[in-house]
Amino acid sequence: MTEATTPPSEAPELPYEAARDELISVVQRLEAGGTTLDESLALWERGEALAAMCQQWLDGARAKLAAVAGTSDDA
C-alpha cells in the first residue's frame, strides 16, 4: 500500500470510498421507503456501521495530516 492509501491502525472492513458509496445507497433506500420495518431497521444498522467506518477513516486521515503539519487536534 502507498502512504496515501494506508488505512488507520485499526482498519475498517471496507475502503473509505466503498463504505461511503454503500452508505449513500443505504440512505437512498431508506428515503425511498417501501421496505418492511425489519428491512428498514437492518438498513439503519448497516448505515450506522458504515458511518462509523467512514468516520474512522476520516479521523485517521486527520491525524496523519496533523502529524505532517506538526499540529495538534486543537488547531
Domain annotation covers residue 6: no
Specify the pLDDT at position 10. 59
**35, part of any domain:** yes
User: How many domains does the chain fold into?
Assistant: 1
Domain residue limits at 53: 14-66
pLDDT tens-digit readout, 32-43: 999 999 999 999
CA–CA distances in Å: residue 29 to residues 15, 37, 41, 71: 21, 13, 12, 40
Residue 57 is assigned to a structural domain of this protein = yes
Structural domain contains residue 75: no
Note if the pTM is more than 0.85.
no
Look at residue 22 in the predicted model and tell me its pLDDT: 97
Position 7 in a domain: no
Rounded to whole angstroms, the Cα distance separating 45 from 25 reads: 13
Domain contains 41? yes
Residue 26 belongs to a domain: yes
